[in-house]
Amino acid sequence: MGIVVTEATPARVAGTMPVEGNTQPFGVLHGGASAVLAETLASIGATLHAGPGRAGAGVEINASHHRPGTGATITGVATAVHLGRTLATYDVVLTDDASRRICSARVTCALRDLR
């Protein structure tokens, strides 16, 4: 889907996604694409927080779509709001080229041992 991660720490993960190629029939960004970007960024942060031999897997996501995603590129920033021992939660804000917020999401990941 063309997601590029531009910053990644347990506390904050940022990335971009092109609108083109991720649209629904009306030509604007597919709402599900916003969810993919949000969940990708949060999972990276949670996995960094989880530490060696462990990973964060999304168990819950929610997203409010505020306006159609248009233009060239969507930017997402995931900020940790809780970094626990078994769960990590991120607020994720998606904006368009004009820095307008198109989507607000929250993703909770379970931190689990890798087999």
Q: Which of residues 25-84 bind its own copies (CB under 8 A)?
A: 26, 30-33, 35-40, 43, 55, 57-68, 81-82, 84
* Burial (0-12, 13-18, 19+ Cβ within 10 Å), 26: exposed
Query: What is the C-alpha to C-alpha distance for residues 24 and 33, in angstroms, rounded to an integer?
Result: 9
Query: What is the C-alpha to C-alpha distance for residues 72 and 1, in angstroms, rounded to an integer?
Result: 13
Could you tell me whether strands 4-8 and 73-83 are parallel, antiparallel, or unpaired per DSSP bridges?
A: unpaired
Which span (5-13, 70-78, 99-107) binds its own copies, by CB under 8 A?
99-107
In the bound complex, what is the minimum distance in angstroms from residue 34's beta carbon to its own copies? 9
Residues taking part in catalysis: 39
What residue ranges bind its own copies (CB under 8 A)? 24, 26, 30-33, 35-40, 43, 55, 57-68, 81-82, 84, 86-87, 89, 91, 93, 101, 104, 106, 108, 110
